[in-house]
Chain A
């Protein structure tokens, strides 16, 4: 089956620093990737949709200058949390859609737990 990896699986950073999270599709080409955020005991909230080679589309209320998304290749998307603050501490999950198969299913990464101190 299609596999999506995320790196790192967890990260602790100090307030004011930036953190980059990678999302990779390992055995398929992901023309579209999605980034979600999940706070404890809550559901996944879609942050943005990224298409390879173009700018990401952000959901309402998500600051694009704070959450920088780059989808430079068909197998890699990155999310950079800039000037992180404790309220950015969350579980960040990416997903990828296999563009070549035309399928509807999204394949989810295992998530990255970010703690900002």
Chain B
């Protein structure tokens, strides 16, 4: 079953710009995680934010979590062509991860 919805489904930006992706979910969660997937490849874990946290940073990544709205956002600052990938949010509610639909990010040099 799919828990999360992400928007936009696709995002195209120029190198150096910021990219923001949003994720909404339906049920209570223990934590929310963001992953990156290059075309046809495995997943790379980016960041985990717990349900009692509101914001978390990791390098050029900034994640926010609003449990009252059941939503999260991932901000990538100063994007690079190498950031081109699909990005997925995944909610952990009871031990298993349920993935959102994903956002396909294209960063043009």
* Interface residue ranges, A against B (CB under 8 Å): 32, 34, 36, 42-46, 49, 59-60, 91, 93, 95, 97, 104-111, 113
What are 25 A-B contacts defined by CB distance under 8 Å?
A32-B95, A34-B97, A36-B99, A42-B101, A42-B102, A43-B100, A43-B102, A44-B88, A44-B99, A45-B99, A46-B96, A46-B99, A49-B96, A59-B1, A60-B1, A93-B42, A104-B92, A105-B33, A106-B97, A108-B35, A108-B42, A108-B45, A109-B42, A110-B42, A113-B40
Report A-chain residues with C-beta under 8 Å of the C-beta of B2: 43, 45
Interface residue B48 (Cβ < 8 Å from any Cβ of A): yes
A-B pairs with the 5 shortest C-beta distances?
A: A110-B42, A108-B43, A44-B99, A43-B99, A111-B42
Closest to B50 in A: A104
If A32-B95, A104-B30 touch, whether A43 touches B42 (CB-CB below 8 Å) is no
Interface residue B69 (Cβ < 8 Å from any Cβ of A): no
